[in-house]
């Protein structure tokens, strides 16, 4: 029940407010009752009500203007109608059974590799969308995908290539969102040249990658970056435990990976595909302009990843202070590219991580305004729950930064210690992402 109490306190309060507004008596003002206790004393039924309120109700409306009508209008009817209450329980139960059934299907031996990969990846997409079942579903399905990828079967068709690409994307994004190591324990072998772009049919192409855009060649560096924080934590633990030999080995590996990441980030440039509007025959000037803006948007997104990776490297890994010139420089450039990616009307599905990192770190009011504008635009376009939750975290970090600045404390997304042996902890941003099971993808 701890999970229910933590995740649905707000909804319980909302139901209290709704009942109070109708003049209904309320007996719980003097003590802290379990979440959804007004619906049932049974734990399982309260769990079903929690699932309906948090996971299902946002999915069955097209737009929540001033609240969800299923919570504002339908939920109060349960106080006088067992039929409405039973219908909600049945609805939530059926949905949970469907998800559980799909998970069980992925565990069957008679599924072929592509079916298993597709089902698992779609479950990951679902959980990132609704953020309903905590981190277990995402992590469990990533483990399933990894076990399939590691079966030793060679990639023989475009479908497998595309699905494995989707796994690598989520593996990195989940790691960066939580501070945990990626499930695929080592960066992609072969450096930048190994992770070639693929087209919509999963075949290698010189054009833009259908999933990663122009960041396909940058992705091995981002992958390595996602493993640096857990490695740093291991090193600090070895130093604190006086495990000298282990600490030396870890320090050597850590320094090598940091240096390689910095060199490759500094030298990386997005590759312009040959078949763009400037070289391909098109019908009208409008088509040329539209394609050019889309291409610029994809390039802006890739550059945002590059500069946000610098911010992450400097702050999270090297522990530079928030006000460091390089930190603010790359945060500024990343936010400019994020805003341009949105303004040029390109895809925004993978823009949340490169937006969240510099938004947390920037101390410039103009850049904060740029971040706010970009978050709002992405939220209007995508409408996914993790976007609004991420923006809430950014605002809370800004408020804390203003408070701490008054007493002379450096604050922000990341720790400020420069010595590897100093105690380091995940910042408020990453901690809140982990605590709320938010994935920046």
Measured CA to CA, the distance from residue 373 to residue 367 in angstroms comes to 10
Residue 398 has pLDDT above 50, yes or no: yes
DSSP state of 274: S
The pLDDT score that the predictor gives to residue 252 is 95
Q: What is the pLDDT of residues 12-29, one digit of tens each?
A: 443 433 333 333 443 444
Neighbour tally for 52: CB within 10 Å? 26
Q: How confident is the model at residue 225 (pLDDT cuts 50, 70, 90)?
A: very high
The pLDDT score that the predictor gives to residue 278 is 46
The pLDDT score that the predictor gives to residue 152 is 52
Burial class (CB in 10 A: 0-12, 13-18, 19+), 66: exposed
Q: How confident is the model at residue 423 (pLDDT cuts 50, 70, 90)?
A: very low
Residue 274 has pLDDT above 70, yes or no: no
**Whole-number mean pLDDT of the chain?**
73
Q: What is the crossing angle of helices 135-149 and 82-106, to 10°?
A: 20
Q: What is the pLDDT of residues 124-155, one digit of tens each?
A: 776 666 665 555 556 666 766 676 666 655 55
Please name the residue ranges forming H helices in 52-81: 69
Share of the chain above pLDDT 90, in %: 24
Q: What is the crossing angle of helices 158-178 and 219-226, to 10°?
A: 40
Phi-psi region of 414 (alpha: psi -120 to 50; beta: other; left: phi over 0): beta
List the domain boundaries for the chain. Answer: 4-59+70-94, 107-435
The pLDDT score that the predictor gives to residue 292 is 80
Smallest CA-to-CA distance from 200 within 190, 189, 211 is with: 211
Whole-model pTM: value is 0.69
Q: Please state the rounded mean pLDDT for residues 400-405.
A: 76
Residue 189 has pLDDT above 70, yes or no: no
Least confident of 1-5, 168-172, 348-352: 1-5
For 147-194, give the secondary structure using H, E and C: HHHCCCCCCCCHHHHHHHHHHHHHHHHHHHHHCCCCCCCCCCCCHHHH
| Tokens read off for 381 | 């376009």
The pLDDT score that the predictor gives to residue 311 is 95
Report the SS3 class of residue 213.
strand
| Tokens read off for 393 | 């975290």
Q: Please state the rounded mean pLDDT for residues 229-236.
A: 90
Residue 321 has pLDDT above 80, yes or no: yes
Q: How confident is the model at residue 369 (pLDDT cuts 50, 70, 90)?
A: very high
Q: How confident is the model at residue 427 (pLDDT cuts 50, 70, 90)?
A: low
Phi-psi region of 335 (alpha: psi -120 to 50; beta: other; left: phi over 0): alpha
Smallest CA-to-CA distance from 168 within 127, 226, 129 is with: 226
The pLDDT score that the predictor gives to residue 76 is 82
Between 426 and 106, the more confident residue is: 106
Residue 196 has pLDDT above 70, yes or no: no
Distances in whole angstroms, Cα of residue 211 to Cα of each of 44, 199, 236, 333, 345: 39, 9, 36, 23, 17
Measured CA to CA, the distance from residue 136 to residue 125 in angstroms comes to 14
| Torsion angle, alpha carbons of 127, 133, 139, 143, to 10 | -90
Measured CA to CA, the distance from residue 393 to residue 398 in angstroms comes to 9
Distances in whole angstroms, Cα of residue 25 to Cα of each of 41, 217, 302, 309: 18, 62, 56, 54
The dihedral built from the CA positions of residue 86, 89, 95 and 98, taken in this order, carries a sign that is negative
Report the SS3 class of residue 204.
strand
The pLDDT score that the predictor gives to residue 46 is 85
Measured CA to CA, the distance from residue 256 to residue 184 in angstroms comes to 19
The pLDDT score that the predictor gives to residue 348 is 77
Between 196 and 243, the more confident residue is: 243
Q: What is the pLDDT of residues 25-42, one digit of tens each?
A: 434 444 445 576 677 778
Residue 167 has pLDDT above 90, yes or no: no
Q: Please state the rounded mean pLDDT for residues 374-385.
A: 84
Q: Which helix (H) or strand (E) holds 385?
A: helix 385-406
| Tokens read off for 233 | 């934590």
C-alpha 247: how far from chain center: 31
Q: Please state the rounded mean pLDDT for residues 212-220.
A: 84
Q: Are 301 and 214 in contact (CB under 8 A)?
A: yes
Between 238 and 144, the more confident residue is: 238
Q: Please state the rounded mean pLDDT for residues 218-246.
A: 91
The pLDDT score that the predictor gives to residue 374 is 95
Residues recorded for the chain: 441
Smallest CA-to-CA distance from 218 within 317, 303, 327 is with: 303
Least confident of 40-49, 101-110, 112-121, 188-197: 188-197
Residue 205 has pLDDT above 60, yes or no: no
Report the SS3 class of residue 207.
coil
| Tokens read off for 10 | 């707000």
Least confident of 189-203, 251-265, 329-343, 365-379: 189-203
Buried b (16+ CB within 10 A) or exposed e, 326-345: ebbebbbbbbbbbbbbbebe
Q: Please state the rounded mean pLDDT for residues 83-107.
A: 73
Q: How confident is the model at residue 159 (pLDDT cuts 50, 70, 90)?
A: confident
Q: Are 334 and 372 in contact (CB under 8 A)?
A: no
């Amino acid at each position: 029940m701890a999970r229910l109490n933590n995740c649905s306190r707000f909804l319980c309060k909302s139901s209290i407010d709704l009942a109070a507004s109708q003049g209904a008596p309320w007996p719980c003002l003097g003590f802290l009752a379990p979440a959804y206790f007004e619906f049932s004393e049974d734990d399982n039924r309260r769990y079903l009500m929690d699932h309906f309120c948090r996971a299902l109700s946002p999915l069955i409306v097209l737009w929540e203007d001033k609240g969800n009508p299923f919570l504002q209008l339908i939920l109060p009817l349960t106080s006088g109608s067992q039929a409405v209450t039973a219908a909600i329980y049945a609805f939530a139960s059926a949905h949970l059974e469907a998800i559980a059934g799909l998970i069980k299907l992925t565990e069957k031996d008679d599924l072929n590799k592509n079916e298993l990969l597709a089902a698992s990846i779609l479950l990951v997409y679902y959980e990132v969308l609704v953020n309903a079942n905590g981190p277990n579903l995402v992590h469990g399905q990533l483990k399933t995908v990894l076990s399939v990828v590691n079966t030793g079967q060679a990639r023989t068709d475009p479908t497998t290539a595309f699905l494995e690409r989707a796994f690598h994307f989520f593996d990195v994004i989940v790691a960066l969102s939580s501070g945990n190591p990626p499930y695929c324990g080592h960066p992609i072998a072969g450096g930048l040249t190994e992770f070639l772009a693929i087209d919509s049919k999963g075949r290698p192409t010189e054009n833009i990658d259908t999933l990663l855009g122009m960041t396909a060649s940058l992705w091995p560096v981002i992958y390595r970056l996602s493993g640096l924080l857990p490695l740093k934590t291991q090193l600090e633990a070895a130093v604190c435990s006086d495990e000298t030999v282990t600490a030396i080995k870890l320090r050597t590996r850590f320094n090598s990976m940091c240096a390689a990441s910095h060199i490759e980030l500094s030298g990386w440039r997005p590759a312009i595909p040959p078949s763009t509007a400037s070289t391909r025959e098109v019908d009208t000037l409008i088509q040329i302009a539209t394609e050019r803006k889309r291409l610029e948007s994809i390039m802006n997104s890739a550059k945002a990843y590059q500069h946000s990776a610098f911010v992450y490297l400097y702050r999270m890994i090297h522990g530079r202070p928030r006000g460091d010139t390089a930190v603010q420089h790359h945060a500024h450039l990343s936010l400019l590219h994020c805003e341009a990616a949105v303004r040029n009307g390109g895809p925004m599905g993978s823009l949340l991580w490169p937006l969240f990192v510099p938004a947390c770190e920037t101390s410039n009011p103009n850049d904060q305004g740029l971040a706010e504008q970009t978050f709002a635009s992405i939220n209007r376009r995508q409408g996914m729950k993790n976007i609004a939750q991420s923006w809430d975290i950014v605002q809370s970090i800004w408020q804390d930064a203003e408070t701490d600045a008054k007493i002379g404390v450096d604050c922000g997304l990341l720790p400020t210690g420069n010595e590897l042996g100093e105690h380091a902890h995940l910042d408020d941003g990453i901690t809140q992402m982990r605590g709320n099971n938010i994935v920046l993808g």
